[in-house]
């Protein structure tokens, strides 16, 4: 069957990109990456079909369905002439040798697991566009010098064992012994689960950290910046760090009918003021243009949460994400100060203030980002720089070598839900840009 070969035609305005860019398109057919848009799309649909039937699209890490998906992926990698192996952390790694012996690999990848009732693109597109780029390189007889590896990292999404990015942590030496003892609801340890999917947890501490020429991860944006601005691609500046702060407030639970207003110690009131303060201050911090900054009160509980009782307690968790640690520190200090002051003014005790977790930001490599940008320019795709507010395997891989991310648009910014969607053309644009970037990176000194 004849396959439609993706070319860079942008007559279709719905595919995005300002019209002025059309003139910047390649004039010679030779230089168009031979990306097969239909094949890339069909791959997405084939992998999506491997889902828990009752709740598409679900392929939870460590599940039989996940292993089925990996078996399918393995077949595609083999068919593309790649060798396939599992490392101790149960990362599925496909590899194509280059011409220079001992050259560090150009690594690409993402994850094939999903959240429950997730989508068909989050993670998956990073693997399948990489595969399509590799096929295109082979089709164009490109004599690449570096080996190329495509990695399906184990359990990027939060797993049943209470941990995300399991495989990428293992690869960079950050999956520690304690994490391996985490259990799922059935009492199985993460170590046992890793064995079950073909890994070797005992060998994880001795895994050699890979030396890489660079790591490239394409991902759906999971936001609306590209779509709203009709842009083809996002060049990711960095992956925001995530800090979670818990604030507990204690007043007095009293009868809602008989406790006069002036005698109350209502713990919901400082919580309400803090809720608005978080939003107001986060907007101000974001407005300073010192990189990505967002903050959210995602957990807000009052107790006893009864219609006829003045709330005696309140608890909130604030999720703060930023590219700059200094901004987070400043925001946390402000929360500390203001929560004390507001609670005091409302005659409520600030019972607790705790940083529950703090993951540092992971800047993307500027040189790799530049190569991605140059590739996009060459192909006539419009770009912008933006940060990732969501976590990715690239955050961990950046600890062992230069890493960069490329975003393609997601419809309505939806992700982690069945509505998640990227157009076939948008996937092909991403694959073509990976193709060019691999060539640029491969051409550099080994
Ligand atoms: Zn993802």
Using one digit for the tens of pLDDT, what is the confidence trace for 206-242? Answer: 999 999 999 999 999 999 999 999 999 999 999 999 9
Integer Cα distance of 432 and 152 in angstroms: 20
Residue 1 lies in a domain: no
Cα of 48 to ligand 1 centre, how many Å?
Answer: 15
Q: Residue 145 in contact with residue 61, Cβ under 8 Å?
A: no
The end-to-end CA distance of the chain, in Å, is 40
User: Do 187 and 224 fall within a single domain?
Assistant: yes
User: Any idea what DSSP says for residue 189?
Assistant: B
Cα of 20 to ligand 1 centre, how many Å?
Answer: 32
Residue 431 lies in a domain: yes
Residue 7 lies in a domain: no
Cα of 416 to ligand 1 centre, how many Å?
Answer: 9
Rounded to the nearest integer, the mean pLDDT of the chain is 93
Q: Which residues of 401-438 are buried (b: 16+ CB within 10 A; e: fewer)?
A: bbbbbbbbbbbebbbbeeebbbbbbbbbbbbbbbbbbb
Cα of 400 to ligand 1 centre, how many Å?
Answer: 20
Residue 387 lies in a domain: yes
Element (H, E) at 443: none
The domain boundary, picked from 310, 330, 359, lies at: 359
CATH of the domain at 147: 3.40.630.10
- φ, ψ for residue 99 (rounded to 5)? -85, -20
User: Do 253 and 228 fall within a single domain?
Assistant: no
pLDDT at 30: 52
Cα of 227 to ligand 1 centre, how many Å?
Answer: 18
Cα of 47 to ligand 1 centre, how many Å?
Answer: 15
User: Do 292 and 396 fall within a single domain?
Assistant: no
pLDDT at 445: 76
Residue 269 has pLDDT above 60, yes or no: yes
User: Do 92 and 185 fall within a single domain?
Assistant: yes
Residue 52 has pLDDT above 70, yes or no: yes
By three-state DSSP, how is residue 417 classified?
coil
User: Do 58 and 129 fall within a single domain?
Assistant: yes
CA distances from 223 to 128, 308, 337, 389, 427 (A): 21, 41, 32, 9, 16
Q: Are strands 403-408 and 214-220 parallel, antiparallel or unpaired?
A: parallel
Using one digit for the tens of pLDDT, what is the confidence trace for 348-367? Answer: 999 999 999 999 999 999 99
The domain boundary, picked from 330, 359, 388, lies at: 359
Cα of 83 to ligand 1 centre, how many Å?
Answer: 24
Predicted confidence band at 27 (pLDDT cuts at 50, 70, 90)? very low
Cα of 285 to ligand 1 centre, how many Å?
Answer: 27
User: Do 181 and 113 fall within a single domain?
Assistant: yes
- % residues pLDDT > 70 (the chain): 93
The residue segments making up the domain with residue 245 are 241-359
CATH of the domain at 353: 3.30.70.360
Predicted confidence band at 142 (pLDDT cuts at 50, 70, 90)? confident
Cα of 271 to ligand 1 centre, how many Å?
Answer: 33
Using alpha carbons only, give the angle 291, 295, 298 rounded to the nearest 5 degrees: 150
Which runs of consecutive H residues, i.e. helices, occur in 140-218?
A: 166-171, 177-180, 190-196
pLDDT at 108: 98
Cα of 122 to ligand 1 centre, how many Å?
Answer: 5
Cα of 343 to ligand 1 centre, how many Å?
Answer: 39
The domain boundary, picked from 308, 338, 359, lies at: 359
User: Do 353 and 427 fall within a single domain?
Assistant: no
Cα of 61 to ligand 1 centre, how many Å?
Answer: 13
Q: What is the mean pLDDT of residues 401-408?
A: 98
Q: Which pTM was predicted? A: 0.88
Q: What does the DSSP assignment read for 262-283?
A: GG---THHHHHHHHHHHHHHHH
By three-state DSSP, how is residue 88 classified?
coil
Residue 3 lies in a domain: no
Cα of 119 to ligand 1 centre, how many Å?
Answer: 10
User: Do 93 and 214 fall within a single domain?
Assistant: yes
Residue 8 lies in a domain: no
Integer Cα distance of 216 and 431 in angstroms: 11
User: Do 56 and 190 fall within a single domain?
Assistant: yes
Cα of 28 to ligand 1 centre, how many Å?
Answer: 35
Cα of 258 to ligand 1 centre, how many Å?
Answer: 52
Enumerate residues 6+ apart whose C-beta is below 8 A from 67: 197
Residue 4 lies in a domain: no
Q: What is the mean pLDDT of residues 65-91?
A: 98
Cα of 125 to ligand 1 centre, how many Å?
Answer: 9
Q: Classify the C-alpha dihedral 74-80-84-90 as positive or negative.
A: negative
Number of separate domains in the chain: 2
User: Do 245 and 150 fall within a single domain?
Assistant: no
Residue 183 lies in a domain: yes
Cα of 9 to ligand 1 centre, how many Å?
Answer: 29
Give the distance, in angstroms, between the CA of residue 242 and the centroid of all CA atoms in the same chain: 13
Enumerate residues 6+ apart whose C-beta is below 8 A from 12: 425
User: Do 317 and 396 fall within a single domain?
Assistant: no
Residue 20 has pLDDT above 60, yes or no: no
User: Do 120 and 181 fall within a single domain?
Assistant: yes
pLDDT at 31: 72
């Amino acid at each position: 069957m004849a396959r439609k070969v993706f070319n860079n035609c942008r007559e279709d305005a719905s595919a995005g990109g300002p019209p002025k860019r059309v003139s910047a398109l390649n004039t010679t057919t030779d230089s168009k990456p031979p990306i097969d848009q239909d094949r890339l799309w069909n791959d997405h649909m084939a992998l999506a079909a491997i889902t828990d039937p009752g709740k598409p699209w679900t392929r939870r890490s460590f599940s039989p369905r996940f292993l089925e998906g990996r078996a399918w992926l393995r077949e595609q990698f083999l068919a593309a002439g790649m060798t396939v192996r599992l490392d101790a952390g149960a990362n599925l790694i496909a590899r194509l040798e280059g011409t220079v012996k001992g050259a560090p690999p150009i690594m690409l990848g993402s994850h094939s697991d999903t959240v429950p009732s997730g989508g068909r693109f989050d993670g998956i597109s990073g693997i399948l566009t990489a595969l399509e780029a590799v096929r295109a390189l082979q089709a164009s007889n490109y004599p690449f010098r570096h080996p190329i590896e495509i990695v399906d990292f184990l359990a990027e999404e939060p797993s049943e064992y209470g941990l995300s990015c399991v495989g990428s942590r293992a690869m960079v030496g950050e999956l520690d012994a304690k994490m391996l003892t985490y259990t799922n609801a059935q009492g199985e340890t993460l170590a046992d689960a890793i064995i079950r999917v073909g890994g070797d947890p005992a060998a994880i501490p001795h895994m050699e950290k890979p030396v890489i020429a660079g790591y490239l991860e394409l991902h759906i944006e999971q936001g609306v910046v590209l779509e709203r601005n009709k842009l083809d691609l996002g060049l990711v500046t960095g992956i925001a760090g995530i800090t979670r702060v818990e604030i507990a407030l204690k007043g007095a639970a009293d009868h809602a009918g008989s406790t006069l207003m002036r005698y109350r110690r209502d713990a919901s009131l400082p919580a309400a003021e803090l809720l608005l303060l978080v939003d107001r201050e986060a907007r101000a911090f974001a407005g300073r243009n010192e990189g990505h900054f967002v903050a959210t009160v995602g957990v807000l509980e009052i107790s006893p949460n009864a219609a006829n009782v003045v709330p005696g307690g309140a608890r909130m968790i604030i999720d703060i994400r930023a590219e700059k640690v200094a901004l987070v520190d400043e925001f946390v200090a402000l929360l500390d100060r203001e929560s004390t002051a507001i609670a005091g003014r409302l005659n409520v005790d600030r019972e607790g203030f705790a940083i529950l977790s703090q993951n540092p930001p992971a800047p993307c490599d500027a040189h790799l980002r530049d190569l991605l940008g140059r590739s996009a320019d060459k192909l006539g795709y419009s770009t912008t720089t933006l940060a990732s507010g969501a976590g990715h395997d690239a955050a961990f891989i950046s600890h062992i070598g230069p890493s960069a991310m490329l975003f393609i648009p997601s419809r309505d910014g939806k992700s982690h839900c069945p509505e998640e969607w990227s157009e076939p053309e948008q996937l092909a644009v991403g694959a073509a840009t990976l193709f060019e970037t691999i060539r640029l990176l491969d051409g550099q000194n080994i």
